[in-house]
Chain A
Amino acid sequence: MSSPATAPFAVEIRHIEALSAQVRRLVLQAQPPARARFAEGQFLSLMLADGSRRSYSYAGACRDDGTFELHVRLHAGGRFSTLLTQGTLRPGSRLEAIGPFGECVWQPATAADAPVLMLATGTGLAPLKALLEAQLPQPGAPLWLYWGGVSEQDLYLHDQLRALARRAPRFHYVPVLSQPSAHWPGERGFVQEIAMRDHRDLRAGTVYACGAPVMVRSALQQLCTHCGLDPARFHADPFEPSEPAPAPSQAAPVRIEVRRADGSRTALALAASGSLMTALRAERLLIGVCGGQQSCGTCRIRLSADQFQRLPAPARSEQRLLRALPASGALDRLACQIALDAALDGLQLTIPGADG
Chain B
Amino acid sequence: MSAVLSQQAELEAVGPHFDTEKMMFVRALTREAIQQIAAAVRPGMIEEDAVDMAKDLLADKGMLRGWHDVYVRFGRNTTKTFGAPSEPGVVLGDDDIFLIDIGPTWQQWEGDGGDTFTTGSNAELARCARDARDIFHETRRHWLATQASGRALYAFAVAAAEQRGWTLNMDLSGHRIADFPHAAIHHGPLAEVEFTPARQLWVLEIHIRNAAGTFGAFYEDMLLEDAYFE
Residues of A within 8 A of B (CB): 113, 166, 181-186, 287, 289-290, 293-298, 317, 320-321, 323-326
Identify the 5 closest CB pairs spanning chains A and B, nearest first.
Answer: A185-B83, A183-B85, A324-B64, A293-B69, A289-B181
Docked pose: A184 CA to B170 CA in angstroms:
17
Cβ contacts under 8 Å, B181 to chain A: 287, 289, 296, 298
| Cβ contact of A296, chosen from B62, B65, B81, cutoff 8 A | B65
Residue of A nearest to B171 (CB): A185
CB distance from A204 to the nearest CB of B (A): 12
Residue of A nearest to B61 (CB): A324
B168 at the interface (CB under 8 A from A): no
From residue 105 to 144 of chain B, which have CB atoms closer than 8 A to chain A? 105, 107
Docked pose: A193 CA to B81 CA in angstroms:
25
CB distance from A344 to the nearest CB of B (A): 25
| Known A-B contacts A289-B183, A324-B59; A185 and B66 likewise in contact (beta carbons under 8 Å) | no
Residue of B nearest to A194 (CB): B187
| Known A-B contacts A287-B183, A289-B181; A295 and B3 likewise in contact (beta carbons under 8 Å) | no
Residue of A nearest to B81 (CB): A185
| Known A-B contacts A183-B83, A183-B85, A289-B183; A320 and B59 likewise in contact (beta carbons under 8 Å) | yes
Cβ contacts under 8 Å, A317 to chain B: 55
Q: Are B3 and A113 in contact (CB under 8 A)?
A: yes
Cβ contacts under 8 Å, A294 to chain B: 69
Looking at chain A's contact residues, the main secondary structure is loop
CB distance from B112 to the nearest CB of A (A): 12
Q: List 18 A-B contacts (CB under 8 A).
A: A181-B85, A183-B83, A185-B81, A186-B83, A289-B181, A289-B184, A290-B68, A290-B69, A293-B68, A294-B69, A295-B66, A295-B68, A295-B69, A296-B66, A298-B181, A320-B64, A321-B64, A326-B107
Interface string of B38-59 (1 = CB under 8 A from A): 0000000000000000011001
Q: Are B66 and A290 in contact (CB under 8 A)?
A: yes
B9 at the interface (CB under 8 A from A): no
Q: Are B85 and A295 in contact (CB under 8 A)?
A: no
Cβ contacts under 8 Å, A287 to chain B: 181, 183-184
Q: Are A185 and B82 in contact (CB under 8 A)?
A: yes
Docked pose: A294 CA to B103 CA in angstroms:
13
B84 at the interface (CB under 8 A from A): yes
B70 at the interface (CB under 8 A from A): yes
B18 at the interface (CB under 8 A from A): no
Cβ contacts under 8 Å, A166 to chain B: 170
B67 at the interface (CB under 8 A from A): yes
Docked pose: A323 CA to B59 CA in angstroms:
9
Docked pose: A324 CA to B84 CA in angstroms:
25
Cβ contacts under 8 Å, B183 to chain A: 287, 289
CB distance from B27 to the nearest CB of A (A): 18
Interface string of B180-209 (1 = CB under 8 A from A): 110110000000000000000000000000
Q: Are B64 and A296 in contact (CB under 8 A)?
A: no
| Cβ contact of A289, chosen from B56, B67, B170, cutoff 8 A | B67
Cβ contacts under 8 Å, A296 to chain B: 65-68, 105, 180-181
Docked pose: A320 CA to B56 CA in angstroms:
8
| Known A-B contacts A113-B3, A183-B84, A287-B181; A295 and B59 likewise in contact (beta carbons under 8 Å) | no
CB distance from B3 to the nearest CB of A (A): 6
Docked pose: A323 CA to B66 CA in angstroms:
14
13 other A-B residue contacts (CB within 8 Å) besides A185-B171, A289-B183, A320-B64 = A113-B3, A183-B85, A287-B184, A289-B181, A290-B69, A295-B65, A295-B66, A295-B103, A296-B68, A320-B56, A323-B59, A324-B64, A325-B65
Q: Are A290 and B67 in contact (CB under 8 A)?
A: yes
Q: Are B59 and A297 in contact (CB under 8 A)?
A: no
Docked pose: A161 CA to B59 CA in angstroms:
39
Residue of B nearest to A182 (CB): B85
Q: Are B65 and A324 in contact (CB under 8 A)?
A: yes
Residue of B nearest to A183 (CB): B85
CB distance from A295 to the nearest CB of B (A): 5
Residue of B nearest to A174 (CB): B188
Docked pose: A317 CA to B180 CA in angstroms:
21
Residue of B nearest to A181 (CB): B85
Cβ contacts under 8 Å, B82 to chain A: 185
CB distance from A161 to the nearest CB of B (A): 14
CB distance from B179 to the nearest CB of A (A): 12
Residue of A nearest to B186 (CB): A198
Cβ contacts under 8 Å, A297 to chain B: 65
